[in-house]
Amino acid sequence: MSILNEFKSSPVFVHSLFRAGSTYIFSVFRRSKAGYWCYQEPMSEFVLSARNERESMLAADDNLAKVLRHPDMKGAYYSELYSVSDECISMLDESCIYDGYFATTPEQAGVPYLSGLVALAKGRPFIQECRTSSRIGVIKKALGGCHVYLWRNPWDQWWSYKVDHYFDNATQMCINATQHPDIITRLIEEVGFKGLAEGNIFEKFSWFFQNCLSPDNSYLVFYVLWFLGLKEGLTHTDLQINIDRLSDSLDYRKQVTAALEDKGVDGLDFSDCSVPQAVYGEKDRAFFQGIEERAHSLLLLSGTSQHEIDEIIALRNASEPLVWHRDVKLEANSNLIRDAERARELVLAIEQRAVDARVGYQQQLRAEQEKYAAMEAKPLVPSAEVEELESEKMAVEAERVNLEARRAQLDNEQKVLIVKRSELVSERSRLEAKLADTLVASDAKVASANAKATELESKLVYKDIELEQARLESRAMVAEFERKTHELLTSTSWRLTRPLRVLSRLIKGQGINLKASPSLIIKHQLKSSISRLIRVVVANPRIKSLAVGFLSRRPVLKTRLKRLAWGMQQNQNSVASQPMTAVDASPSHQQTSLLKRKGNGDELKSPLESFFY
């Protein structure tokens, strides 16, 4: 077998405490198409009880699954184990289940049984177990494989224990182990734990059911086991998975999936992970934090360093549920949190009263038993005294019967309290679900508002960009126009055509018809110049006298100038009196007729014309 194939076929172990999401992880491996052969809690006392009735391993309790919030298992809980039960179930030793919780040798840790499960697997072996959290190192050293530690925030996990008394009883079974570290010895003294050394595993469960821990001591024992399990997981496992972050973070799911694939564990889909998470009030926090301080003190006294404690606390704080960090100060949310906090207080009060009542009953019963035993031990006395003793004995017996009746009554009350506790737990779950729905709705509204704000910001940014582009384009057009204008004005062709432009302006002067022939236009311009010259001469008497003398000696020139002066006068009069808008004649014809008109007509002589007469 190649190293890669050996790597791909090595067993996968997932260790955890109860109620950490282990059944969900089991369902993910079971539904995978990568060929895993999945064993769920093969070291359970239920498996031990099914030795002679193996068919019971295929029974499914749907009601219990709903109470425990288990996902769809896609088959019976122990179907894979049932398939190999003929060969391996006899290898499960009772002492390995709880007495070996803190085992230091492979035999005590149940390695022979686990090794048999690995060998008989009809696919890649996958083993999930909630009773191996403090013996991971021993199992890994003996069997190899990929080991994962699954954990959850301790507050939600401990409250999840309240769904059934089994989990508190199993916690006491763990610290009842025959071999345990110093911290467990101090813990037993701290809580006044009453262990049971004799009897089988089922008798011990019955004993711990009759001797429940108070809520304070219950959480103290749980938290110490939670701390020790996480510490063992950090030391000996290849990967640690926090079920809260796996529920909250898509990025964390990707990280976990990639880390498992690096270990050769692939084909898994955690997209539907969703562990229940509660929100706690100030009273809840005070309850938990005070007990955790007691646990840390016991750990320090037992050799755990402050650095190790701080490391665990930092990891826990970094993995807190996101719902703990949301704004829950809204009135509706605050009311839900308050109601859930009151429900939890009531559950704890009921449990405390049940424990106190049972302790009082046991103390009273023990006192009566001691009294009765003392009476039985007295020597024989005269008949009168015998009768008196018999009376006392009967009284004691009557008292014992009364105590038994009281005990039965307490049992009934405890059953009622358990029912009430279940109802309160259900109510708590309902309130938590309602709170979760409210938070989801609030998140949806916030997300919608943020989306609208983002959309408006995007539109504003787009409009700003369009405006800036238009501004830049206008500036570019102005700059381009100025550049082209400058190039035109400084070009050689512009300088060379300047005389033509000047002549064009002269030609386009007022009263000139541009459609006339060029020769007439030039002639008209010359006549205009001569006319202006004549006016200058007329305005100056001295020049006028010299001009008259000059023209008198040149009659032909005088005649031509007279005709020119008269024509210009008539032209001015026509322009002033009639606009040039004739329809019957073209502009060129009108211009020609004006320039060629002769004679004085009926009009009076103008000052210009009087110059010649």
Task: Look up tokens 């110093």; give the residue.
Answer: 182
Mean pLDDT of 234-252: 97
Q: Does 274 share its domain with 136?
A: yes
Look at residue 338 and tell me if it is in a domain: no
User: 46 near 131, Cβ under 8 Å?
Assistant: no
How many other C-beta atoms can be found within 10 angstroms of the C-beta atom of residue 39?
Answer: 26
Q: What's the CA gap between 518 and 104, in Å, rounded?
A: 126
CATH number at residue 83: 3.40.50
On whether both 355 and 304 belong to a single domain, the answer is: no
54 lies in a domain? yes
Work out how many domains the chain is built from and give that number.
3
Distance between CA 331 and CA 529 in Å, rounded? 100
- Whether residue 205 contacts residue 169, with contact meaning beta carbons closer than 8 Å, is answered with yes
Residues 316-352: pLDDT tens digits?
999 999 999 876 555 456 666 666 666 777 677 777 7
Q: What is the mean pLDDT of residues 300-324?
A: 96
Same domain? 447 vs 303: no
Residue 501 lies in a domain: no
Q: Is there a single domain that holds both residue 112 and residue 150? A: yes
Q: Domain check: are 443 and 549 in the same one?
A: no
Q: What is the pTM of this model?
A: 0.61
* Number of other residues whose CB lies within 10 A of the CB of residue 196: 15
Are residues 287 and 406 located together in one domain of the fold?
Answer: no
Whether 537 and 403 share a structural domain = no
Is the same domain home to 173 and 229?
Answer: yes
Does any domain span residue 506? Answer: no
Given a cut of 80, whether residue 587 has pLDDT beyond it is: no
Task: Judge if 388 and 481 occupy the same domain.
Answer: yes
Q: Taking residues 110-118, what's their average pLDDT?
A: 97
Q: Are residues 314 and 366 in the same domain?
A: no
Q: How confident is the model at residue 602 (pLDDT cuts 50, 70, 90)?
A: very low
pLDDT digits (tens, 9 = 90+) for 147-193: 999 999 999 999 999 989 999 999 999 999 999 999 999 999 999 99
Higher model confidence: residue 75 or residue 455? 455
CA distance 220 to 216: 6
Distance CA 573, CA 377 (A): 166
Range of the domain at 102: 3-325
User: Could you tell me if 259 and 315 lie in one domain?
Assistant: yes
> Does residue 346 lie in a domain region?
no
Q: How confident is the model at residue 601 (pLDDT cuts 50, 70, 90)?
A: very low
Q: Is 345 within a domain? A: no
Grade residue 248 by pLDDT with cuts at 50, 70 and 90. Answer: very high
pLDDT tens-digit map of 540-586: 888 878 888 887 888 877 787 777 666 666 665 655 555 544 444 44
Q: What is the pLDDT of residues 349-405, one digit of tens each?
A: 777 777 766 666 666 666 666 666 666 665 544 566 667 777 777 877 787 777 777
Residue 575: partners with Cβ closer than 8 Å, 6 or more residues away = 511
**SS3 label, residue 194:** coil
Q: What is the pLDDT of residue 571?
A: 61
CA angle 439, 442, 448 (to 5 degrees): 140
Strand order from edge to edge, sheet including 124-129? 36-40, 124-129, 12-15, 146-151, 239-242
Q: What is the mean pLDDT of residues 438-455?
A: 78
- Report whether pLDDT(14) > 70: yes
